[in-house]
Amino acid sequence: MILFIRTLFVLAVLLVLGGSAAVFWHMENRLPPLSYNEFLTILEKDEVAEVRLQGGQISLKDTFGREFATYSPDVQALLPSLLEKGIPIYGRPDHSSSLLLLAELVVPVMLILLVWYSILRRQTAEESDADGKDGKGRFSPQQMRNPVTFRDVAGVPEAKEELLEVIDFLQRPKKYSRLGAVIPRGILFQGPPGTGKTLLARAIAGEAGVPFFSISGSDFVEMFVGVGASRVRELFKEAKKQTPCIVFIDEIDAVGGRRSAGNMAGGQDERGQTLNALLVEMDGFATDDTIIILAATNRPDILDPALLRPGRFDRQITILPPDIKGRLQILQVYATKLKLSDKIDLETVARNTPGFTGAELASLMNEAALIAGRTGDSAIRPEHVEAAKDRILMGVERKGLVISEKDRRTMAYHEAGHAILARSLPETDPIHKITIIPRGKALGHTQQLPLTDRHAYTREYLLSRIKILMGGRASEEICLNQQTTGAEDDFRQAVDLATKMVCQWGMTDNIGPMSYIRDDGDFLGEQLSRNAYSEETGQSIDREVKGLVESCYREAKEILTAEKDFLVYLADMLLVNETLDHEEMEIVYECTSKKRLESGAGNPSDDGTLCSVSSAV
């Protein structure tokens, strides 16, 4: 629709330009007038060279090359004498040029009016009832053929508990209004994407059996100022017709972002108007309007405080990625829908997927089903789930990528470096898998999986993490005496972590227990805490971060130098097998120790024999 209007608008502008050009052209061509008598005189003097006739109008060129125009009361009578003198005559159909001009101007003006009208129509929410083709308006509750219920949402027991009351209210509003109780109008779900906020909102509607209106915050923000506000009014008008009902606003931060003073860009203005309209609607509910507004955001920190005031979204429910029990429950929900082999132990899957959100678990199971389908299996087996997990965590395997032997070697040493540090440092997550099969952006991967979900990270853990990240480059330097670009992402993550340790988590002595939040992305033109510290502090932060990362790098290098034989061995094994899991890595370690014992402190790879792991895999 917008595109259509835009095209229309451009067309109109072009036509107006064309029209005016045509007018000017006509003016340019307007010849000096000549009286009919004068014309006859010139004709008699045989000074006419050429004549153009159009209607009663005569344009002529005389023998000196001058051009004139005149008007003849009776052209027919003139023709014989022109013919007699042998003057060339050019006739033109009698389009009155004024008519042409009129058309050229009227059409674009009408077009512009049309565009204007459609914009006006879009802006006036009152008129847009006729807009929807189904006669129901733009907003109609979503058809719930298979309503989602609480049974489909797993792993969020606290949220469900809180929402039971809301469902009861939607089903029996009288029970509460009789007592004079005011039920919260707005409930805000906050949490990372994919944790099931939308699903939960749907489930409430499904459980209560009420219509569900849904819109996303970004739908409100459009190119025309004022459209967002009218959409809000339109939405609530529809909703009020069908009470009791649920209105769900996804990504509310798109409209409800903090209205910052000062730098009000055009988009901000539109957002402000939309937000105001939303607030007005929320405040304007009659007590007997049984409408519950649910909203979801993953950026609660940037919401305008006006939204969170009592009577608006005064109830907030935080939904976090599920813990192992939650993951198991979610997996069980999907297990009923899929064909799993008996070998799959959902508890193992749950344990091996820390940090996965509901959406990621759903896509894990779906991906596994797809892989099983592709390989022609009749049920999903553990290896399908494992392959699906690799795909989700590390990206699609890049089978077509041709990697030179030299690059493979680099990757093998790089990953072996990460892995050995992960194995030998304190407070690290166990290695799950090392691979030099390129996936996604990376050429190799060392995957660690925590035994349990971690909620708070110790300084020790974070330091180990940075050292592990440094291990890739350190190993390349020790064994291959080279620096490659492969460490780019490792460094970025390490510096990120170190910066947070210094600025946010108060983990260094020189800066101390302070919080200096560095500019995180300048979201929505906010300038929250930039320059919240002096330049001097800034410099010592930089020094501290650098020192931290560098000391980690040094230590990583020391450890790897001490374990060089293990490193070389592990890299060799990786080159042969491409992927090693936890047990295989342990076997390599045992072999290294054995060789060490046998040959004193000698380097085991010197004798050229490889450990027996290669055949074991």
Q: Quick one: which of 270, 2, 277, 274 has its CA closest to 118?
A: 2
The yes-or-no answer on residue 405 being catalytic is no
CB nearer to ligand ADP: pick between 82 and 148? 148
CB of 168 to ligand ADP, least distance (A): 22
CB nearer to ligand ADP: pick between 72 and 366? 366
CB nearer to Zn ion: pick between 141 and 472? 472
Per-residue exposure over 573-597, b if at least 16 CB sit within 10 Å of its own CB, e if not: bbbebbebbbebbebbbebbeebee
Catalytic residue, chosen from 415, 476, 555, 563, is 415
Structure tokens at 268: 């901000």
By CB under 5 A, residue 326 contacts Zn ion: no
Contact 526, 302 (CB under 8 A): yes
For β-strands 445-448 and 431-435, DSSP reports them as antiparallel
CB of 214 to ligand ADP, least distance (A): 11
Show contacts with ligand ADP in window 127-186 (CB under 6 A).
153-156
Partner from Zn ion, ligand ADP, none contacting 154, C-beta within 5 to 8 A by type: ligand ADP
Partner from Zn ion, ligand ADP, none contacting 327, C-beta within 5 to 8 A by type: none
Contact 417, 489 (CB under 8 A): no
By CB under 6 A, residue 195 contacts ligand ADP: yes
Choose the stretch contacting Zn ion; rule: CB under 5 A; options: 7-15, 122-130, 425-433, 489-497: 489-497
Those residues whose C-beta lies under 8 Å from the C-beta of residue 45, and which sit 6 or more positions away, are none
Q: How many CA atoms lie within 13 A of 339 on its CB side?
A: 7
By CB under 6 A, residue 433 contacts ligand ADP: no
CB of 418 to Zn ion, least distance (A): 6
Q: Which of 207, 477, 490, 584 binds Zn ion (CB under 5 A)?
A: 490
By CB under 6 A, residue 193 contacts ligand ADP: yes
Rounded to whole angstroms, the Cα distance separating 150 from 203 reads 5
How many chain residues bind Zn ion (CB under 5 A)?
2
By CB under 6 A, residue 362 contacts ligand ADP: yes
Which residue of the chain is nearest ligand ADP when measured via CB? 358
Choose the stretch contacting Zn ion; rule: CB under 5 A; options: 21-29, 143-151, 372-380, 484-492: 484-492
Choose the stretch contacting Zn ion; rule: CB under 5 A; options: 42-50, 56-64, 486-494, 529-537: 486-494
Q: Is 442 helix (H, G, I), strand (E, B) or coil?
A: strand
CB of 274 to Zn ion, least distance (A): 45
By CB under 6 A, residue 198 contacts ligand ADP: yes
Partner from ligand ADP, Zn ion, none contacting 472, C-beta within 5 to 8 A by type: Zn ion
Q: DSSP letters along 216-230, please?
A: EHHHH--SSTTHHHH
The kind and range of the H/E element at 501 are helix 488-503
Q: Which of 211, 257, 358, 486 binds ligand ADP (CB under 6 A)?
A: 358
By CB under 6 A, residue 294 contacts ligand ADP: no
Q: Write the CA distances from 350 to 17, 268, 445, integer angstroms.
A: 67, 43, 21
By CB under 6 A, residue 327 contacts ligand ADP: no
By CB under 5 A, residue 476 contacts Zn ion: no
CB of 376 to ligand ADP, least distance (A): 26
Choose the stretch contacting Zn ion; rule: CB under 5 A; options: 42-50, 464-472, 503-511, 604-612: 464-472
Q: Which of 211, 257, 472, 604 binds Zn ion (CB under 5 A)?
A: 472
Q: How many CA atoms lie within 13 A of 563 on its CB side?
A: 30
Rounded to whole angstroms, the Cα distance separating 213 from 381 reads 40
Partner from ligand ADP, Zn ion, none contacting 153, C-beta within 5 to 8 A by type: ligand ADP
- Which residue intervals of 179-260 are DSSP H helices? 197-208, 217-220, 227-241, 253-256
Rounded to whole angstroms, the Cα distance separating 418 from 425 reads 11
For β-strands 67-71 and 57-62, DSSP reports them as antiparallel
Q: For residue 395, what are the β-bridge partners?
A: none
Choose the stretch contacting ligand ADP; rule: CB under 6 A; options: 107-115, 195-203, 304-312, 520-528: 195-203
Those residues whose C-beta lies under 8 Å from the C-beta of residue 514, and which sit 6 or more positions away, are 503, 506
CB nearer to ligand ADP: pick between 329 and 435? 329
The DSSP secondary-structure symbol of 450 reads -
Structure tokens at 225: 């100022």
Within its chain, how far is the Cα of 474 from the centroid? 36
Angle at 581 between CA 368 and CA 603, to 5 degrees: 160
CB nearer to ligand ADP: pick between 296 and 420? 296
CB nearer to ligand ADP: pick between 196 and 256? 196
Q: Extract the runs of DSSP E, i.e. beta strands, from 264-417.
A: 291-297, 315-318
By CB under 5 A, residue 367 contacts Zn ion: no
By CB under 6 A, residue 197 contacts ligand ADP: yes
Residues that bind ligand ADP (CB under 6 A): 153-156, 193-199, 296, 330, 333, 358-359, 362
Q: Could you list the active site residues?
A: 415
Residues that bind Zn ion (CB under 5 A): 472, 490
